[in-house]
Structure formats: C-alpha cells, structure tokens
A and B are shown apart, each in its own frame.
Chain A
Amino acid sequence: MKKIIELKNVSKAFDGETVLDNINLDIYDNEFLTLLGPSGCGKTTTLRLIGGFETPDQGDVIFMGEKINDVPPHKRNVNTVFQRYALFPHLNVFDNVAFPLKERGLPKAEIEEKVNEMLSLVALSSFAKRSVTKLSGGQQQRVAIARALVGQPKVLLLDEPLAALDLKLRKDMQQELKKIQKATGITFVFVTHDQEEALSMSDTVVVMSEGKIQQIGTPIDIYNEPENAFVADFIGESNILDGVMLEDYKVRFSGRTFKCVDFGFEKKESVDVVIRPEDVDIVPEQEDLLSGVVTSVTFMGVNYEIIVDIKGFKWMIQTTDFVDVDEHISLKIDPDAIHVMHKSEYSGLYGDYSSFSNEFDELEEIDESEDGE
C-alpha cells in the first residue's frame, strides 16, 4: 500500500495551549481512516493541517512524498466536507458542485458532464436547479460531498459530516459514504466523536485524546485490544480493574487469580485489566467465582444492563438473563474475555461504574456535537 499523507512529529498550539502534541500518522492510498476522540482532542486540527487551513508549529505534513506545510489550501489535491456543509447559498445545487471545475476553467460541456455524473452518484440528479437553501440536511450533505469529490482529489477530508443529521439518516449516510469511498477509490479521512460510527465505517481508526494519538488500528483491534484505559473506555463499555500479571497467561485481580491469553509482561507487573460487559456470564452464586450483589438493572431492548457491586467495585454487565436488584450472583469469566494492558496515565480514571447513568452519558454527547471544537 502506498503512503499518501504522512504527519511527522507534528505539534500545534493555539494561544499557548497545546492542541497537538507530537503527532505521527501515516495515511495510505484508498483507505477509510477515522480520527476518533472526544471534543478538544485535536482531531479537527489534524484535519485542518491536512487541508491547509492551519500550519504546524513543529513537524512536517507530507503529501505523496512532498512537504506541504506552507502550501495554501487551493493548491492542495485535497478537498473537505465541512461540518455544516458550507454550501454557497447564492448558487444552486448544480453551480455549487460545478464551483471547483469553473475555477479551473474547464469547458462548459465537460463541467456539465462531470457535475451530472457526481449528482447521480449522490442521487441528486433531479435537484440540479434547486436552491441549496431549500434542501433538507441530508440533501445538503450530499451536495457537499459531490462538490468535494467532483475535482477528483486524492484525499477527501470529512469533518464530523453526519453530526447534524438525525439517527436514522445518519445510519443511511454512513452506508452511503462507505459505498462512495469504495466506488471512487479516494482516500477518506473522517473525523468523528461517535465511536460506533468510527467502528462501522473505517478501515483504520485513530483514537486521539488531549492532542496525542492513543492508538492506531483496525476497528476490531481497537475494540478487542485497547492500548490503554482511555481507549478501552472510549470505545464501547469497559470494566477496567487494577491487576497484577503473575506470569504469562495468569493475572490476578479482585482478589482472585484468572487464566488469560495475554503474555509478554514482566513478572508481578501491575496492569489494567479490561473486561467487556458483554463477555461476562452471569451464574447463580458460587463459592469459587467472583460474587457480588446487583445494584441496578436497566432494560435496553436487546439486553439488560446491570450493575454489580463486587467488593466495592461496580461492574457493568450486559446480559439477556433477567436478574433482580439485590440478587446475589457470580460472574463466569473465560480467559479470552480478559484483556490485559500496561499501566498508563489514564489508569484509574475510567472503568468503574459507581457513578454510572445512561442519562448523563447522553447529555455529554449532545454537548460534544454542539461545540464542534
């Protein structure tokens, strides 16, 4: 695979506040890469560095082997789909899409052909003469994508393009974006704070926090083998426990010793242990298993989300079996349900559900989608 974009030791600060801290990232030809992280993690700034709207304080942005730190946006073979689309309100759908082609001075017939081709790709052929201000959010989104793709850039940058759409439409657009990416073969760099979106669409996910890259990997790697407590917590739900790696394939936490599939740690190294809520089986209370008392049960549709208090640590467990509050239960944990991580600066910050509430989580999400960094 060919490298298209390289970020080398890139740092950036605004008003003395570090936004990107020594970022190294390779983006390959034809891949769907997602920058994922909470607001303020630096993902949008990374995108703007590639687009040419910001220049790095330190480090280099390399495009197909060439340093482009100071190349202005209009001279980069990269186009952007902006968060709120940024369509030109004085132009209709056709002219919005034709905008970059007219700037290049292409002949009229060629412009018409390319624009119509793009409009049919995004299923908007019959809207060519419509004013963009009279389109729905989803349609505006498609115009923005067509306009960014019509000039055949090597890379398409998408800045939280689906954040303003409602859930149903967002799901449809996710499918469609993936389809468009496959059809055009253009590299997509996609920014989102929605982990589900990142996992379902990407070839490569880059998890960011506080201006640093926490982990780069395929969606499956990121989910199953999180690098540290931050990634484990941000992607999906995780119970993260303090543990000690006794020897290869043997880890101790919550006062018990478990078999696991992890190895290569130092003897007696203290570690973070991740156990996903869906990987735990609930069984009636047994002497030789981890046991505790159920403190809350929430019906989620596909399953129940229950919180179990085990020696003061609150576990979250997803199960289709019904249990009642105050019931005493035991947890059956298979070796491959356990994932062991090295300690990091994020250890101890995440993974305990003592203050957990669904409502709180949702409120946070709304906040994030509104500030847009």
Chain B
Amino acid sequence: MTRKMQKWLLAPYSVWAFLFMIVPLIFVAYYALTDNDYNFTFENIRKFFVTTSSVTNDAGQVSEVHTYILIFLRSLKLAVISTIVCLLLGYPMAYIISQSSPRAQKIFITVIMIPMWMNFLIRTYAWMTILQDTGILNGFLGLLSLRPVHIIGTEGAVVIGMVYDYIPYMIMPIYSVLAKLDPKLTEAARDLGCNSVGVFKRVVLPLSLSGVVSGITMVLIPSISTFYISQKLGNGKFYLIGDAIEGQYVANNLHFAAAIALILMIILLAGMAVMQHFADIERKLEA
C-alpha cells in the first residue's frame, strides 16, 4: 500500500476526530472566554478564582472561602485517594491475573469487565443500597452481631464508589503490560541472584511502570471530574468540580460551566506534563 493511499484511507478518521474531538474543545474554549452576548471576556475565568462564600464548620465558626478553589481541591483530594486505593488494589490483582493460566486470565478479565457493561447510574444506586445505614452491609454486620457502621454520606462512601467504578481502568493497562512481560526476564533475574522480592523490585516493577502511569492517568482524570457519585453516595455533602460544572450547566450558565471545564482541563494537562517529566527523569536516572 502506498503512503498516499494510506493517507486517503485515514481521511474519514481525521474528519471524525476533527468533528467530535477538536470542534467541541474549540467550543468549550469559545464559551469559556465569552459572555452571554458572545463578547470576548476573561470574566468567567476570573470568577472561578475570586468567588467566595461563607461556610460554617462543625464547631459553628463561619469563614470565608474561595468557593471553586475549595471545590477543586476537594475533588483533587478524593480523586488522589481513589487513585491510590485503585493502584494498591489493582496492581496485585493485575499481577495475579497475569500469572494465572490463559483460561483463568480470560475468566478474570471478563469478570472485571462485566460491571462495566452495566449503567453507571445503576451501579451507583446499587452501592447506595449496600452502604445505607439500613442497607445490605449493615444487615450483614447485624447477622454477625457486629455494630453497624455509618458509611453513606461520608467521604469514604464516595471513595468506595469511585474505586469501584474506575478500578478496571487501573487493572487493564497494568495487566496488559505484565502479561507481555517475558517470563525469561524473571528467570534471568533469579538466575543472577534475586529472590522473589528482588525480582519484583528490580525487574517486574520497573518494566510495568508504563502500565502504572497509564493506569493512574486513566483513573485520576475521570475521577477528578466525576459527578453524581458524590451526590448519591455522599448525600450531596461533597460538592465536587464535576457537580459544579453540571450545576452551572443545568442553571443555564453555559459560559461559566465552560470556563470551569477549561480550567480543569488546563490544570490536568499541566499535571500530566509534570508527571511525564518525572517519568522521563526517572528513566534517565535508571539508565
């Protein structure tokens, strides 16, 4: 096939990518930087950083806070916690799957994928019925004559929901890297004097870092901008940046919603760039 033909065959995809990926981004930026009359303005961006509101803490003290920065930091905190939990649970899971027989691997992967075929809202509702004060979990604890736990409406519940939703995105990229790892490399490491810990630390982990980085990316980004989970499992107490965008959109403040989305995107891009930079440095140090 000639290069020219390849180009033509790729054309439909290029058009598709332009229409559904580039154009929407342009619109987001356009809305973010215009007012209701579509005049150019930085007002929406400014609003994100300067809007304040009063909050009352548990002790009854009232304080002024930067509303959206607070919401953003809260989103970031929950997303980071969820990502760490996903990594701590997902890596061993991915490792175990990659070490099992080909048949077992297929079964494991299917089991992990099945929940993803169900609607996201239904999965969230399922967690509500499990975690409620009178829900399945507490019913079960009651059967064991243990004290009931209060989870729903806490940050913990939001994290559980996020981890459940996003852990497949952590497991899959790590698994696919580990499954491709040449078993001869671990044999070579053992041959050269490594015990199991050494094999993992010096060969398996460094060679699976690319999977870890894409896993972190694929979990952190959607979980930072998630909404709805916090509304349902957090009883609306933990208003997240995704909820804020949705709220402004529903309230017909399209321009401000777009501005929040744009700022979030830029912060995430910057974060990714920093992470990539450190990954590169690490690779260079290793070499």
Residues of A within 8 A of B (CB): 51-53, 72-74, 78-80, 82-84, 86-92, 95, 99-100, 103-104, 129, 131, 147-148, 151
Residues of B within 8 A of A83 (CB): 184
Q: Does B29 contact A (CB under 8 A)?
A: no
Residues of B within 8 A of A90 (CB): 206-207, 283, 286
- Given contacts A74-B190, A82-B188, A84-B182, 7 further A-B pairs with CB under 8 A are A73-B187, A74-B193, A74-B194, A80-B188, A90-B283, A103-B202, A131-B287
CB-contact partner of B191 in A74, A87, A95, under 8 A: A74
Residues of B within 8 A of A89 (CB): 207
Q: Does B19 contact A (CB under 8 A)?
A: no
Q: How distant is the Cα of A104 from the Cα of B203 in the complex, in angstroms?
A: 16
Please state if A91 and B192 are interface contacts (CB–CB under 8 Å): no
Q: Does B135 contact A (CB under 8 A)?
A: no
Please state if B287 and A91 are interface contacts (CB–CB under 8 Å): yes
Please state if A86 and B193 are interface contacts (CB–CB under 8 Å): no
Q: B193: nearest residue on chain A (CB-CB)?
A: A103
Please state if B185 and A86 are interface contacts (CB–CB under 8 Å): yes
Q: How distant is the Cα of A78 from the Cα of B187 in the complex, in angstroms?
A: 13
Q: Does B148 contact A (CB under 8 A)?
A: no
Residues of A within 8 A of B194 (CB): 74, 103
- In which size bucket is the chain B interface? 20 to 34
CB-contact partner of B203 in A52, A53, A80, A88, under 8 A: A88
Q: How distant is the Cα of A297 from the Cα of B192 in the complex, in angstroms?
A: 52
Residues of B within 8 A of A82 (CB): 184, 187-188
Please state if A104 and B191 are interface contacts (CB–CB under 8 Å): no
Residues of A within 8 A of B184 (CB): 82-84, 86
Q: A103: nearest residue on chain B (CB-CB)?
A: B193
Q: Does B198 contact A (CB under 8 A)?
A: yes
**In the complex, what's the smallest C-beta–C-beta distance from B194 to chain A, in angstroms?**
6
CB-contact partner of B192 in A53, A72, A129, A151, under 8 A: A151
- Would you give 6 A-B contacts (Cβ < 8 Å), ordered by A? A79-B192, A86-B185, A88-B185, A88-B188, A88-B207, A104-B193
Residues of B within 8 A of A88 (CB): 185, 188-189, 203, 207
Please state if A92 and B191 are interface contacts (CB–CB under 8 Å): no
Q: Does B195 contact A (CB under 8 A)?
A: yes
Residues of A within 8 A of B189 (CB): 88, 99
Given contacts A103-B198, A103-B202, contact A51 B192 (CB under 8 A): no
Residues of A within 8 A of B206 (CB): 90
Residues of B within 8 A of A78 (CB): 191
Please state if B190 and A99 are interface contacts (CB–CB under 8 Å): no
Residues of B within 8 A of A (CB): 182, 184-185, 187-195, 198, 202-203, 206-207, 283, 286-287
Q: B185: nearest residue on chain A (CB-CB)?
A: A86
**In the complex, what's the smallest C-beta–C-beta distance from B283 to chain A, in angstroms?**
8
Residues of A within 8 A of B191 (CB): 51-53, 73-74, 78-80, 148
CB-contact partner of A95 in B188, B207, B287, under 8 A: B287
**In the complex, what's the smallest C-beta–C-beta distance from A267 to chain B, in angstroms?**
54
**In the complex, what's the smallest C-beta–C-beta distance from A112 to chain B, in angstroms?**
16
Q: How distant is the Cα of A80 from the Cα of B188 in the complex, in angstroms?
A: 7
Residues of A within 8 A of B195 (CB): 72, 74
Q: How distant is the Cα of A211 from the Cα of B194 in the complex, in angstroms?
A: 31
Residues of B within 8 A of A99 (CB): 189, 192, 202
Q: How distant is the Cα of A276 from the Cα of B191 in the complex, in angstroms?
A: 42
Residues of B within 8 A of A91 (CB): 286-287
Given contacts A74-B193, A99-B202, A104-B193, contact A86 B286 (CB under 8 A): no
Q: How distant is the Cα of A129 from the Cα of B284 in the complex, in angstroms?
A: 11
Q: B190: nearest residue on chain A (CB-CB)?
A: A73
Q: How distant is the Cα of A182 from the Cα of B65 in the complex, in angstroms?
A: 78
**In the complex, what's the smallest C-beta–C-beta distance from A120 to chain B, in angstroms?**
20
Q: How distant is the Cα of A104 from the Cα of B190 in the complex, in angstroms?
A: 13
Residues of A within 8 A of B286 (CB): 90-91, 95
Q: A130: nearest residue on chain B (CB-CB)?
A: B287
Q: How distant is the Cα of A84 from the Cα of B184 in the complex, in angstroms?
A: 9
Please state if A103 and B192 are interface contacts (CB–CB under 8 Å): yes
**In the complex, what's the smallest C-beta–C-beta distance from B102 to chain A, in angstroms?**
15
**In the complex, what's the smallest C-beta–C-beta distance from B179 to chain A, in angstroms?**
16
Q: How distant is the Cα of A74 from the Cα of B195 in the complex, in angstroms?
A: 6
Q: How distant is the Cα of A89 from the Cα of B184 in the complex, in angstroms?
A: 12
* Residue among B192, B194, B195 with the highest chain A CB neighbour number at 10 A: B192
Residues of A within 8 A of B185 (CB): 86, 88
Q: How distant is the Cα of A35 from the Cα of B195 in the complex, in angstroms?
A: 28
